[in-house]
Amino acid sequence: QKQERQVGDTTYYPSLIPQAKQGLLRDVSVIANMNFALRNEFQDGEYMKTRFRNEQFRLEIRGKVHEKVYFRFRDRYTRAQTSESVDNLSRSVDLAYLRFDISEKWSASAGKMCADWGAWEFDWNPIDIYEYSDIVEYADNFLTGVGATYTPSHRNQWTFQVLDSRTKTFTELYGTQPNFTESKAPLAFVVNWRGSLLDGKIKTIWSYSLFNEASNANMNYIALGNEFTFNKFRFIYDFKWSDEQLDRTGIVSQTVPDDIYPYALAKTRYIGHWINIRYMITPKLHLTFVGMLDIAQWRNSFNDPENTAGEEHIRNAWGYIPAVEYYPWDNLNLKFFANWVGRVYKYSDYAKTRFGVSDYNTGRFTVGFITPLGIL
């Protein structure tokens, strides 16, 4: 064979097994994560439009590439390919990391990965979410860094992560900021506990995260996910609490018009409740219901000279999603679904008067299919 340029060996590497044969040791899958839907959209009760939409299309490659090394890569085709200022990788890339399996109980990861700031909604494959709750929807979920996982038994798993707290620079994310300056080490620290109690009848994903957003400005985030399974019935309750010294989630800052405060605000708090109920009528036919409430507060609104009552509350965002799901094949992981996605946004009197916003609601009736399709 001819000598090729940049064929790429890590310089001077003494590999015992030629690269072409290493494939025999691998157990790798290629997956097309798809969520396709026909949407009929409504606002404030009025029919707005009908369209087909590729809700999700994420190609994924994952698996063991060596007895001690696991590789995972996932890229979406529903987002522009870019080169991010901080972590250099495209925003379309969700995952690009290696996991090193050091021992039975310990593993370590490095690369762009899923921040493990759990609870169940966040932990699912995105294709299975009909609509995210506010806190997760507005979060940066895929961050670059390192992690370690300790699995003392099949009943407990602990994960620790240190990550870049964002993929863009401070200025790109927050614009010109009068009250905060960029920090030199804008990192995020995540700790996560996954538990399995009563033979898996109760499962938990609890996490605490500290995100450094600016010098002297952190985000503290707690998520407590709890899953209860009783035969054909499953119930999940996620509690989320995000205290932000600089408004990372941004819902409050977006509510305030730019002619009042044209920058990201300080001291916001978001609280989320999320329930998910699933009833398996038969293995092939399921009924599910998602209910959610996201509460947005502006904790130093008392600084606003026109806020005479000291009102901190900005809005409640409700959501309810009844759905029916049908799995036609025993040997293929694919479901057809029909659902109603209802959202109701209710603002406080303070927000209405001061910021000129109004309550509104949206809805959509959707039918489609969902599959994490193994293709290679």
Q: 70 and 102 in contact (C-beta within 8 Å)? A: no
Which residue number, 56 or 255, has a Cβ lying nearer to a second copy? 56
Nearer residue to a second copy within complex by CB, 157 or 307: 157
Cβ–Cβ under 8 Å, residues 268 and 297: yes
Encoded tokens for 98? 């290696």
Strands (E), 215-359: 217-230, 233-246, 266-282, 285-298, 313-326, 335-347
Between 23 and 45, name the residue whose CB sits nearer to a second copy: 23
Identify which of residues 68 and 201 has a Cβ nearer to a second copy in the complex: 68
**218 or 371, CB closer to a second copy?**
371
Minimum gap (Å) between residue 65 Cβ and a second copy: 5
- Reduce the DSSP state of residue 182 to 3 states and report it: coil
CA distance 166 to 182: 12
CB of 66 to a second copy, least distance (A): 5
User: What is the three-class DSSP state of 198?
Assistant: coil
Q: How far is the CB of 243 from a second copy (least distance, A)?
A: 23
Select 162 or 309, whichever has its Cβ closest to a second copy.
162
Q: How many CA atoms, within 13 angstroms, populate the side-chain half-sphere of residue 105?
A: 7
Please report how close the Cβ of residue 212 comes to a second copy at its closest, in angstroms. 11
Q: How far apart are the first and last CA of the chain?
A: 28
To the nearest whole angstrom, how small is the minimum distance from the Cβ of residue 223 to a second copy?
Answer: 13
Least Cβ distance, residue 140 to a second copy (angstroms): 14
Taking 3-state DSSP, the helix, strand and coil percentages for the chain, each rounded to the nearest 5, stand at 10, 55, 35
Q: Supply 174's token pair.
A: 């927050």
Asked if residues 58 and 128 have their Cβ atoms less than 8 Å apart, the reply is no
CB of 305 to a second copy, least distance (A): 37
Residue whose CB is less far from a second copy, 12 or 230: 12
Residue from 106, 102, 80, 103 nearest 91 by CA? 80
Q: Which of 194, 218, 196 is nearest to 207 (CA)?
A: 194
Shortest Cβ 226–a second copy spacing (Å): 16
Which C-beta is closer to a second copy: that of 199 or that of 306? 199
Residue 70's φ and ψ, nearest 5 degrees, are -115, 135
CA angle in degrees (0–180, nearest 5) for 150-113-9 = 100
User: Closest CB to a second copy among 63 and 262?
Assistant: 63
Smallest separation, CB 177 to a second copy (Å): 17
Q: Which stretches within the chain are classed as H helix?
A: 19-22, 120-123, 134-137, 170-174, 251-255, 349-355
- In the bound state with a second copy, the residue whose beta carbon lies nearer, of 119 and 266, is 119
C-alpha angle 326/329/332, rounded to 5°? 110
Q: Give min distance, CB of 292 to a second copy, in A.
A: 16
